[in-house]
Amino acid sequence: MSLYTITGAQLAFGHVALLDHADFSLEAGERVGLIGRNGAGKSSLLKIVADLAKPDDGLITRQHHLVTVYVPQEPEFEAGASVFDAVAGGLAHARDLLGEYDKVAHALAETPEGAQHDALLARMNTLQSSLDATDAWNWRMRVSTTLAQIGLDGDAQVGALSGGMQKRVALAQALVMRPDILLLDEPTNHLDFDGIRWLEELLLAQRAGLLFITHDRAFLDRIATRIVELDRGRLLSYPGNFSAYQTRKAQQLEVERVENEKFDKLLAQEEVWIRKGVEARRTRSVGRIARLVQMRNERAERRNVQGNVKLDVAQGEKSGKIVAELTDVTKRFGARTVVDRFSATLMRGDKIGLVGPNGAGKTTLLKLILGELQPDEGRVRVGTNPQVAYFDQMRAQLDQEKSLADTISPGSDWVEINGAKKHVMSYLGDFLFAPERARSPVTSLSGGERNRLLLARLFARPANVLVLDEPTNDLDIPTLELLEELLTDYEGTVLLVSHDRAFLDNVVTSVIASEGEGKWREYVGGFTDWQTQRDRAEQLAQRDAPKEPVKDAAPKDSAAGRNAQRSVKLSYKEQRELEALLGQIAALEGEQKTIAAQLEDGSIFTKDAQEGARLTQRYAQIDEELMAALERWDELESKGK
């Protein structure tokens, strides 16, 4: 049985149907990637599954006692809360039950036998059953274990953490609840490459059903076992990862195009026939007329594929052959060195990606390259005739109160693209903004729409150097692919900061990567090429590193040393139990690892859904057995100290 099913779902805002008799189900252990155009209704569907919103119509079926946890794009925490308290907030219900149990127990001890005593006793039994079912007795251990699993300091203040670390706290808050269904809205936002890789490993190890929204194609390829596309109100399911989806989607669109052409041709023939006059009005043609009316209705109700953004950048005059030359450049902020003796030459037409963890100094290096920031040491020589167009990830260039038209072309109804004039309404239409929205303020736009508007503004200005700081945030996949094509064909220079691995691979010709402590190095190729070269260099460094001699005797602080010391403090039976626990834990971990390998690629669910569900259930059962074994191990270990 599916964990969750919705049949015939309908949801509309105004005249736009976001869900139009849509069907969806989620099986145990599935990892479903939900994709679609900006504004298609993906977040609305996620909230419906989370039971935070209701559809206008449709039948919803969910398993009894199903635990569903939703992690929004921008998690919110109480001001001044510690990480421990924020994560423990996921167990608020269990803690409330425990608090009530303590109060009832106290009242029971002070109440003489009678009707009130019996009522308190019945309530205590009910609370005890609920506490047993939710494992609320061990809530502190659950929080501590989850913090250790995710690598968080429970004493830290959430408000002092970066966006990426706050995302980890939100995930810990969700996982401590042991969800049956985990719902994630843009989980890779604010995460750097190491954070994204960490998240991938974390989600692959989870056995909960997973439904997530993302535009990160590499993340979809690694995590998803099924792709569900929200397209014109319908939910279309494609087994496999994103690459498999692309192939099947292209085939489906081609079949749809051919069928629509046949239908339109037949409709045109019938329209010609009906206009012939007398012949069409004979009694024997009544059925044909009725069919024509039905065909007209079907054509009117057809929702065609939404048009794509039309991107074209206004090319400025050519810059000099050398765009920028950096020689032994160093930049410090206080005691911290952000750039340490970096040298590079950027040529006209180069497409360079800047990569590194959050806070490494990518934006600082960009400003040094453009001559906007002077180095403390070294020399920066900016080439001749640079015309820079800057895409700011914080969208600070957008005036929230201005209209869309004034943002693109202040004081004029025309924009000039490569020498050709274009009306601002038509130009906004190229970026999928309807004419009636041209006079709307920027503040009325969603995140993805603001990014599209910023791209429209950027490309309306003549430039020979494009500086793009996280341009892919909130853009849907079709717009991302179009932007890739535009930048690939662009004759000027591109400087790109992005955490979208597929986007970097498809656009850049070289990568400038942070290697820590202010060191930067340039690599030829895209993101994957940089990873390959970096990993090879690390392997060579490890191979050439001197090896430490192996000591024969087990030190006192090793596991063997501790066991030798502990054995004298445990009874013979407890020593044997401790030894058996080691083997039991190793066997359980081995079995869990084998099951994880079978479940990871998701193919088991397409070949044998029943076996996939059984393995998922066994995986969860091993988790419980491991927890019990580890708790007993910890108890014996503490006793033997």
Those residues of the chain that have pLDDT short of 70 are: 1, 14-15, 273-289, 292, 299-317, 392-397, 418-419, 446-447, 544-570, 572, 600-603, 605-606, 609, 638-641
Question: How much is the pLDDT for 379?
Answer: 93
* Residue 639 amino acid letter: K
The response to whether 351 counts as a known ligand-binding position is: no
111 and 56 in a common domain: no
CB-based contact 596:615 (threshold 8 Å): no
The response to whether 287 counts as a known ligand-binding position is: no
Question: How much is the pLDDT for 48?
Answer: 94
* Residue 563 amino acid letter: N
Domain count, the chain: 5
Q: Is residue 553 part of a domain?
A: no
The response to whether 383 counts as a known ligand-binding position is: no
Contacts of 364 (CB under 8 A, 6+ apart): 331, 338, 339, 373
The response to whether 335 counts as a known ligand-binding position is: no
499 and 356 in a common domain: yes
The response to whether 359 counts as a known ligand-binding position is: yes
CATH code assigned at 112? 3.40.50.300
464 and 385 in a common domain: yes
The response to whether 629 counts as a known ligand-binding position is: no
DSSP readout, 553-608? Answer: SPPTTSHHHHHHHHHTTS-HHHHHHHHHHHHHHHHHHHHHHHHHHHHHTSHHHHH-
State which residues form the domain around 131.
79-177
Q: Is residue 239 part of a domain?
A: no
Contacts of 193 (CB under 8 A, 6+ apart): 355, 357, 499, 501
Question: How much is the pLDDT for 559?
Answer: 41
The response to whether 363 counts as a known ligand-binding position is: yes
334 and 481 in a common domain: yes
The response to whether 360 counts as a known ligand-binding position is: yes
Nearest CA-CA partner of 305 in 249, 226, 248, 237: 249
Q: Is residue 474 part of a domain?
A: yes
What is residue 462's three-state secondary structure? coil
CB atoms within 10 A of CB 28: 23
The response to whether 451 counts as a known ligand-binding position is: no
The response to whether 29 counts as a known ligand-binding position is: no
Nearest CA-CA partner of 44 in 12, 77, 7: 12
At 493, phi and psi to the nearest 5? -100, 140
Q: Is residue 240 part of a domain?
A: no
Q: Is residue 184 part of a domain?
A: no
The response to whether 205 counts as a known ligand-binding position is: no
Last residue within a domain, chosen from 177, 192, 217: 177
Angstrom distances, CA of residue 295 to CA of 73, 178, 260, 526, 529: 43, 52, 12, 51, 54
Last residue within a domain, chosen from 154, 177, 200: 177
485 and 391 in a common domain: yes
Question: How much is the pLDDT for 423?
Answer: 86
Question: How much is the pLDDT for 458?
Answer: 77
Token pair recorded at residue 579: 């030894």
277 and 143 in a common domain: no
Token pair recorded at residue 89: 């907030």
328 and 287 in a common domain: no
Question: How much is the pLDDT for 394?
Answer: 52
CATH code assigned at 633? 1.10.287.380
86 and 48 in a common domain: no
Last residue within a domain, chosen from 153, 177, 201: 177
The response to whether 41 counts as a known ligand-binding position is: yes
Cα 197 from Cα 213, distance rounded (Å): 17
CB-based contact 564:554 (threshold 8 Å): yes
474 and 326 in a common domain: yes
The response to whether 385 counts as a known ligand-binding position is: no
84 and 55 in a common domain: no
Distance from the Cα of residue 101 to its chain's centroid = 39
* Residue 572 amino acid letter: Y
Q: Is residue 361 part of a domain?
A: yes
The response to whether 37 counts as a known ligand-binding position is: yes
Q: Is residue 260 part of a domain?
A: yes
Nearest CA-CA partner of 30 in 155, 212, 152: 212
Question: How much is the pLDDT for 32?
Answer: 95
475 and 360 in a common domain: yes
Q: Is residue 580 part of a domain?
A: yes
The response to whether 357 counts as a known ligand-binding position is: yes
508 and 423 in a common domain: yes
Angstrom distances, CA of residue 583 to CA of 119, 561, 578: 47, 18, 9
State the pTM of this model: 0.68
Angstrom distances, CA of residue 191 to CA of 84, 149, 216: 21, 18, 12
The response to whether 510 counts as a known ligand-binding position is: no
Cα 338 from Cα 344, distance rounded (Å): 16
